[in-house]
Amino acid sequence: MSEMIRQQYHLEPDKGLLNDPNGLSWFQGKYYVFFQWNRFEKNHSYKEWGLFTSEDLLKWKFEGSAVIPDQEYDRDGVYSGSGYVIDNQLYLFYTGNNKKDGKRKSSQCLVVTKDGRRYQKKGIILKTPEEYTEHFRDPKVFQGKHSGYYMVVGGQQKNGKGAIALCHSDDGETWNYQGMLAVSEQYEMMECPDLFLLDGRYVLLFNPQKRDNTADEPILSFSAYKLVEFDEENGIFRDASLDDGFELMDAGFDFYAPQTFLSPDGRRILFAWMSRMDDEQEKVFSRTELNIHCMTLPRELFLQEEKLCQKPIRELYHLLGQEIAAVCEKHEWSAQPAKRTFYLCLRRTGEEQKLNILFHQGEAEIAYISEEKKLTFSRRNWVDGTVETKSAAIDEWNELEIWSDHSSMEIFVNGGQVVFSARIFPKSQKPEVTVSGSTNGMKIEMREIMNMDKREEQKS
């Protein structure tokens, strides 16, 4: 390994495996980001909730374990869930997993904390409704417009098809199942739903999953969103189908289980798990490391012409440091940053659409194919060496904003209308970026991304 894999400005624990973000909250002057965590090994054999806290979304403190599987109903895993502040206490809702003789039992459970340090388990608040199998998990809670609280839960119907359930509570502790909010005929499971108001519209996030129901194994899954009309009074969607009318949340390789919350100034902020690696990719990626996987950057959400857009939270721009020197020729721009942690922004000022960006001697590449009106992002597979490509249909590119960390890239296209998220396996000893095409019709900005210690030094 010639470069470190551990990230500089993305959230990841010191050891073990991280996956879904959970319990995202603003509570008593701090941001809380819980996450599913196996602190013992770099695999999915054990699940508890770990915790990061921050006062400003920039400087984070790793708090270690928060909610552990120590009860009969959650002995085989504290699975994903959400948080909501009720009566000056942080309520944490999660799925408790119990497996006996290979048979799964899921329960929706509650933990309450008054101070963010001591967590009191209140036990099971909702058992699996009879219409569902025990693939019933990931409760996301939000406050109703008119009364009480709602909970959406991902599930699988007894017929083997995916669904999202709706539940209601007057006080956050006593919950009742109201019915199926949305259903699928194409997918066998729905994971990690989230339902919220944004710019006057309801947005549903969900993760469709193809499963082999006979073997009880997942085959593929992805993250999607859909603008919906939610009749709160009757607890129904106008369009209850999860099979059409949705868009991908992310066009890249590594993005799953997104969850949102409201910041104290009213912004809708999202974190997601930045991984979709298979077992072999995980083994190679973490071979020299004590930990594996990280979160995406926190992102602000907004709607633009009926499309959900994502931008890095505005606080992140405080991390931008000195401009990185570049060599500019007629049709090429190149730079050799000292580190892989950099910010690169390209804005098109001319008519020509041609664009190609090569990173680190071919570890990754971005290209716009104007004839096909398609933007592609490629990376080198670190297991077999093949080139993998993802693409998105884009009529024209006007702006690309690229946030590079030691082993990841997040690319925000045209103000966040399309995003590509990916882990990148670092091999090259010399970071290098080359932009070709009509560079005389582009404005290119490249800056260092400071770590927090350096930023604090500059402030003082």
Record the tokens describing residue 34, joined without a space.
């819980």
**Of 240, 231, 59, 62, which Cα lies nearest the Cα of 150?**
231
What is the rounded distance in angstroms from the CA atom of residue 119 to the CA atom of residue 116? Answer: 7
Task: Match 């502040």 to its residue by tokens.
Answer: 85
Amino acid type, 259? Q
Q: Do 52 and 37 contact (CB within 8 A), yes or no? A: no
Pairing, β 399-405 against β 408-413:
antiparallel
Query: Is 20 marked active-site?
Result: yes
**Catalytic position from the list 20, 74, 138, 194:** 20
- Ramachandran region of residue 455, left (φ > 0), alpha (ψ -120 to 50) or beta? alpha
What is the rounded distance in angstroms from the CA atom of residue 98 to the CA atom of residue 104? Answer: 6
CA dihedral 14, 54, 412, 305 (to 10 degrees): 140
CA dihedral 58, 59, 63, 66 (to 10 degrees): -20
Backbone angles phi, psi at 199, to 5 degrees: 50, 40
Residue partners of 294: CB distance under 8 A and separation at least 6:
7, 10, 11, 12, 18, 274, 275, 408
Dihedral sign (CA 119, 124, 128, 133): positive
Which residues are annotated as catalytic? 20
